[in-house]
Amino acid sequence: MIPLAAYGIVSLLAFLLYWHDKRRARAEQWRTPENILHALEFAGGWPGGLLAQQLFRHKTRKVSFQVLFWLIVLLHQVFWIDLLFVGGHLFALI
C-alpha cells in the first residue's frame, strides 16, 4: 500500500507542476526546468505527468523530453515486473 500512496502523492505533485509550468509558458514567464519535471517522474510521479501532458497538451511535441519521459516509464515498469514476478533479482545486481 505504501508504494501506491507514494505514487499517488508524487503524481499529484507532478500533475500540479505541469499545470503550473503550462500556465507560465502561456504567460511567457519563468518556467519549471525540465530536469525538475523528470526528477518527479523518476520519483514515481510519471502517471501524474502523463495525465497532465495529455490534459494540458504540454510537453507532448518536444521529442527529447518525450524520449526521456518514456525511458523513465519503462524503467518503472521493468522495476515492478522484476520485483513482482522475478523476485527482484535483476535490480539486486545494481
Among candidate residues 93, 84, 8, 6, the one with its CA nearest the CA of residue 48: 8
Rounded to whole angstroms, the Cα distance separating 4 from 35 reads 23
Q: Tell me: the pLDDT tens digits for 21-74?
A: 999 999 999 999 999 999 999 999 999 999 999 999 999 999 999 999 999 999
pLDDT greater than 60 at residue 94: no
pLDDT band per the 50, 70, 90 thresholds, residue 82: confident
pLDDT of residue 87: 74
What nine digits make up the cell of 33? 526546468
Q: Is the pTM of this model over 0.75?
A: yes
pLDDT greater than 90 at residue 81: no
DSSP state of 87: -
Query: Residues for the chain: how many in total?
Result: 94
What nine digits make up the cell of 75? 524503467
